[in-house]
C-alpha cells in the first residue's frame, strides 16, 4: 500500500475546525470521542486505585480511601505476606523477552536484507513460512514442544522459552525490516560499492544505519509481544522460569483471592510494554501489520 506523505484529510479537517470550532456538531463529536476514551482508560485508572487500597477498603469504598503502598510491598516481596516470588517472575520476563529479541535480530536482520534485495530460489516460501507462524494456533506447536521439552530437559528453562518465543519475534522482525530495506533505494549501496566498499561493508555502513529507527521499533515491538505472551510460559514453565503474565494470575487463586495484590501485580507487569509503546508510536502501524500498511 502506497503511503502518501501529505495529510490532506487532516489538513482539510483542521481548516474546517478553525471556521466552525464551536459548532454543536463538533462538540457532540468531541463528547463521543471522550466517551470512548473513558471506556478505554478507566480500567487502567481503576486498577491503580484498587492497588492502593487496603484489604478492608476493597469491599467498603469505591473512590474515597487513604492510599497505601502495602500491596506493592507485598508483591515485590518487601514483606512476607506476598508469598509469590513476583520479582523473580519479572526478571524471568526480562531475560526471556530480551534473549528472544536478541536472537531474532541476529538471525532476522541479514535475512530481511536478503529478502528485500535478492530474488532467490525458496526465498518466498521461507518468507511465507515465517508469516504462517503468526497465524498458526499457538497450541499446535506448544503440545509437541511440551512433550519434547519434558524429554530433553528444556521444560521450565529460560532457553526453552527463548526458543519458542522465536515464533513471535522472528516473523515480526523479518517482515518489518524487509519492508524498511525495500524502502531504501539500492542505488545507495551501489554508490558505496563504487566508492570501494565491499558488499558486506555497504550493508553494515550504509544500509543498516538508515533502517536503524525501523530496527529499533521492530525490536521494541517484538519485546512487547514476547513480554505479553501468556500461553507459552503458562504451559512450558513451572516455578523456575515463570513470567509475570503467568505470575499475575497466582494472586487470584486460593481460598481468599487477594484483589489488591492482583491489581498491583497487573500494573507492575504492564509498565514495561506501556513505556516502550509510547516511544515507538510513530512506527506502530507498520509494525503491527508486518509492514503491510506503511502508516
Partner 1 sequence: MRGGTALAPTEQANDGLLPAWRRSARPYLLVIPAVALTIGILYPFVQGAIYAFQNYKATRPNPEFIGFRNFERILTDDKFWHSVGVTAKFAIGATLVETVLGVAIALLLARSSLVSRTLERFLILPLMVAPIIATIMWRLMMQPSVGILNYVLSPIGLGNQAWTDTPAMAMFSVILIDVWIFTPFVALLVLAGLRSLPRAPFEAAAVEGASFWFTFRNLTLPMLWPYILVAVIFRLMDSLKVFDVIFALTGGGPGNATMALQIQAYQDAIPFSNFSIGQTYMLILWFVVYLATFGLIKVLAKAQARAAGV
- 33 interacts with partner 1 by CB under 8 A: yes
Instruction: Kindly indicate which of the ranges 38-46, 64-72, 82-90, 204-212 contains the residues binding partner 1, using the contact rule CB under 8 A.
Output: 38-46
CA-closest candidate to residue 291, choices 232, 238, 214, 225: 214
Give whichever of 80 and 151 is closer to partner 1, judged by the CB atom: 151
**Smallest distance from partner 1 to CB 58, Å:** 5
**The three grid cell numbers given for residue 64, joined into one nine-digit string:** 474515597
Residues within window 70-99 making contact with partner 1, judged by CB under 8 A: none
- 22 interacts with partner 1 by CB under 8 A: no
CA-closest candidate to residue 60, choices 253, 260, 249: 260
Calculate ∠ Cα 206-278-269, nearest 5°: 115
Residues within window 189-208 making contact with partner 1, judged by CB under 8 A: 190-191, 193-194, 199
Cα 291 from Cα 218, distance rounded (Å): 10
**Smallest distance from partner 1 to CB 95, Å:** 17
**Residue for grid cell 505476606:** 81
CB 141 within 8 A of CB 255: no
Instruction: Kindly indicate which of the ranges 64-72, 75-83, 211-219, 275-283 contains the residues binding partner 1, using the contact rule CB under 8 A.
Output: 275-283
- 65 interacts with partner 1 by CB under 8 A: no
Torsion of CA 144, 148, 151, 152, to 10 degrees: -170
Of 160, 178, 211, 215, the one binding partner 1 by CB under 8 A: 178
Of 76, 94, 107, 208, the one binding partner 1 by CB under 8 A: 107
Amino acid at each position: 500500500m502506497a503511503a502518501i506523505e501529505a495529510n490532506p484529510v487532516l489538513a482539510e479537517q483542521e481548516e474546517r475546525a478553525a471556521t466552525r470550532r464551536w459548532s454543536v456538531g463538533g462538540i457532540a463529536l468531541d463528547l463521543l470521542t471522550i466517551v470512548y476514551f473513558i471506556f478505554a482508560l478507566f480500567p487502567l485508572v481503576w486498577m491503580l486505585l484498587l492497588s492502593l487500597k487496603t484489604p478492608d477498603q476493597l469491599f467498603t469504598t469505591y473512590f474515597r480511601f487513604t492510599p497505601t503502598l502495602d500491596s506493592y510491598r507485598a508483591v515485590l516481596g518487601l514483606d512476607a505476606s506476598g508469598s509469590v516470588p513476583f520479582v523473580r517472575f519479572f526478571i524471568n520476563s526480562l531475560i526471556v523477552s530480551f534473549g528472544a529479541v536478541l536472537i531474532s535480530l541476529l538471525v532476522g536482520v541479514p535475512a530481511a536484507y536478503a529478502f528485500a534485495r535478492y530474488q532467490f530460489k525458496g526465498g518466498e516460501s521461507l518468507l511465507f513460512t515465517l508469516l504462517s507462524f503468526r497465524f498458526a494456533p499457538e497450541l499446535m506447536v506448544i503440545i509437541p514442544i511440551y512433550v519434547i521439552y519434558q524429554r530433553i530437559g528444556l521444560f521450565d528453562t529460560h532457553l526453552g522459552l527463548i526458543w519458542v518465543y522465536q515464533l513471535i519475534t522472528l516473523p515480526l522482525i523479518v517482515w518489518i525490516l524487509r519492508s524498511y530495506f525495500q524502502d531504501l533505494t539500492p542505488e545507495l549501496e551501489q554508490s558505496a560499492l563504487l566508492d570501494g566498499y565491499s558488499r558486506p561493508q555497504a550493508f553494515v555502513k550504509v544500509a543498516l544505519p538508515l533502517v536503524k529507527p525501523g530496527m529499533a521499533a521492530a525490536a521494541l515491538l517484538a519485546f512487547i509481544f514476547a513480554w505479553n505472551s501468556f500461553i507459552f510460559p503458562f504451559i512450558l514453565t513451572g516455578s523456575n522460569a515463570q513470567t509475570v503474565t503467568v505470575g499475575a494470575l497466582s494472586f487470584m487463586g486460593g481460598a481468599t483471592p487477594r484483589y489488591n495484590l492482583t491489581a498491583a501485580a497487573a500494573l507492575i507487569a504492564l509498565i514495561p510494554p506501556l513505556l516502550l509503546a509510547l516511544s515507538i508510536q510513530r512506527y506502530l502501524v507498520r509494525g503491527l501489520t508486518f509492514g503491510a500498511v506503511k502508516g
